[in-house]
Amino acid sequence: MQTFNNDFFYAKNEDDFKKLKSANVKTVRCFCMEPEKEKKMMKKYELDGTLIIPTVIALDKIRLEKCKSLGFNISIMIDLLDDDEILFCISALKIPVTVFLYDDLTKTGDISKKYNGQMPAMVLEDFGFLDRECYIVGGMYAEKDDLQILSDYETTIILCPRAFSSKGATFTNLKLLNKYPIKIRLGSYDYKEIALNREIEFLRLTSCALFENAFSFTDDEIYKIIND
């Protein structure tokens, strides 16, 4: 049985839920555009976990209350490049958030430019998003100063090794991430296959390639990192 304790998964249709069921996944963090529909799919395929909703739903009081009544934990997908007014409104809700960060150097630069040189972790801190559960999807371009701030708040970074690699992102510097008391979890995002053991193997092989050392990490070491 695979339990992706904090897995980030993008479900586009029922076939995606069938893939989760076939992979024996039981707990999942699922990004969804139609929460009521996703609730039915989660129940149908006996899944537990968190429904991640977009800001357009979170800022609609009626739809947000419906989401709260669905019987699942909820998190809001935020984008630090959104208007500050939107981010302040989301922050005021005091609901856990999920954000793509450190997955694209151009976007990281755009965030810094928008906030007068501040790095993403500082922006998250200023808006109060780190005062609640905050999940970062990505992480491969995170720098030391950001990681220090994130670790102070016990933030979780969700790695999606195969999915991001297929989109052209660099390999994850697992050694750097592992120096900080940050929770590391695995996700599949929209990758065509869901297999925890293959994500671990891919992460190990790419770490060995990144550090040009065939013994950088073992599968057991990586499994321990993502479950601490």
Q: Which residues of 88-104 are buried (b: 16+ CB within 10 A; e: fewer)?
A: eebbeeebbbbbbbbbb
Q: What is the pLDDT of residue 213?
A: 84
Neighbours of 208 (CB within 10 A): 15
207 phi and psi angles, rounded to 5 deg:
-65, -40
Q: Percent of the chain, pLDDT > 70?
A: 97
| Digit-coded pLDDT (tens) for 45-68 | 998 999 999 999 999 999 999 999
The residue to which tokens 């991640």 are assigned:
52
What residue spans define the domains of the chain? Answer: 8-196
Running DSSP on this structure, what letter comes out for residue 168? T
Looking at the domain covering 8-196, what would its CATH class be? alpha beta
Distance separating alpha carbons of residues 2 and 174, to the nearest angstrom: 22
Does the pTM surpass 0.95? The reply is no
The answer, yes or no, to whether residue 6 has pLDDT greater than 80, is: no
Query: What is the reported pLDDT for 7?
Result: 67
